[in-house]
Amino acid sequence: MNADPAAASWRGDLLRALALVALAGVLGLATNALSSRPVPILDPSGPGRVAEGAPRIEPAEYAAEATRGGVLLLDARAERLHAQGRPSGSVAVTPEDLDARMPELMLYLQSARLVVVLCDSAQCMSADRVVEMLEARGYPGAKVFAGGWEGYKQAGFPIE
Q: Tell me which residue of 154, 141, 112 sits closest to 54, measured CA to CA.
A: 141
Task: Based on the fold, state whether residues 69 and 148 are members of the same structural domain.
Answer: yes
Question: What pLDDT, in 10s, does the model give residues 104-125?
Answer: 999 999 999 999 999 988 888 8
Reported as type and span, the H/E element at residue 73 is strand 71-75
Across the chain, what does the average pLDDT equal?
87
Q: Which domain holds residue 20?
A: 1-50
Task: Based on the fold, state whether residues 45 and 105 are members of the same structural domain.
Answer: no
Task: Based on the fold, state whether residues 75 and 115 are members of the same structural domain.
Answer: yes
In a domain, 121, yes or no: yes
- From CA 29, how far away is CA 26, in angstroms rounded? 5
Task: Based on the fold, state whether residues 46 and 60 are members of the same structural domain.
Answer: no
Residue with the larger pLDDT of the pair 69 and 13:
69
Number of domains in the chain: 2
Reported as type and span, the H/E element at residue 96 is none
Q: Is the per-residue pLDDT at 47 higher than 80?
A: no
Task: Based on the fold, state whether residues 89 and 142 are members of the same structural domain.
Answer: yes
pTM of the predicted structure, to 2 decimals: 0.68
Task: Based on the fold, state whether residues 63 and 46 are members of the same structural domain.
Answer: no
Task: Based on the fold, state whether residues 16 and 41 are members of the same structural domain.
Answer: yes
Task: Based on the fold, state whether residues 147 and 118 are members of the same structural domain.
Answer: yes
In a domain, 88, yes or no: yes
Do residues 53 and 128 lie in contact, with contact meaning Cβ atoms separated by under 8 Å? yes
Question: Distances in Å between the alpha carbon of 58 and those of 61, 109, 152?
Answer: 5, 21, 10
Do residues 120 and 81 lie in contact, with contact meaning Cβ atoms separated by under 8 Å? yes
Question: What pLDDT, in 10s, does the model give residues 52-97?
Answer: 688 999 999 999 999 999 999 999 999 898 878 999 999 999 999 9
In a domain, 160, yes or no: no
